[in-house]
Amino acid sequence: QVQLVESGGGLVQAGGSLRLSCAASERTFSTNAVGWFRQAPGKEREFVATISWGGDNTDYEDSVNGRFTISRDNAKNKVYLQMNSLKPEDTAVYYCAATLSGGYYYTARIVSDYHYWGQGTQVTVSS
């Protein structure tokens, strides 16, 4: 059972930056694709970014492409989401998730593709 813990959320003004971290409890995390999702009040959880097992493949939701960067350090069992040029519409609880599916280059954009989830970290962007 992989346990995931997000950190790095907070309150920031529009145009600012935050770096989210996702720490995993187990070494096997390094062989999982990982995704970041977010959920705003009253809305469904939505895909933000994903990174493959080895870090060679990444994929982003259109509205964050060019502003957010996902990366990972498998030696530290961590995945990061660098968020720049933040907008008020980025306000949400951000979750990291790990999947058991796929191989080295696998990435996934769908909530149901993921097997383990963290508890989330709040990101609030003020205008």
If pLDDT is split at 50, 70 and 90, which confidence band does 28 have? Answer: low
Give the tokens for residue 55: 């870090």
If pLDDT is split at 50, 70 and 90, which confidence band does 32 have? Answer: confident
Q: What is the mean pLDDT of residues 78-89?
A: 97
Rounded Cα distance, 39 and 51, in Å: 19
Please give the residue that has the higher pLDDT: either 31 or 61. 61
> For the chain, what is the mean pLDDT?
94
User: Which is it for strands 10-13 and 121-126: parallel, antiparallel or unpaired?
Assistant: parallel
Are 108 and 33 within 8 A, CB to CB?
Answer: yes
Q: What is the mean pLDDT of residues 71-84?
A: 95
Tokens 């770096």 correspond to 19
Other Cβ atoms less than 10 A from the Cβ of 29: the count is 23
Q: What is the pLDDT of residue 26?
A: 77
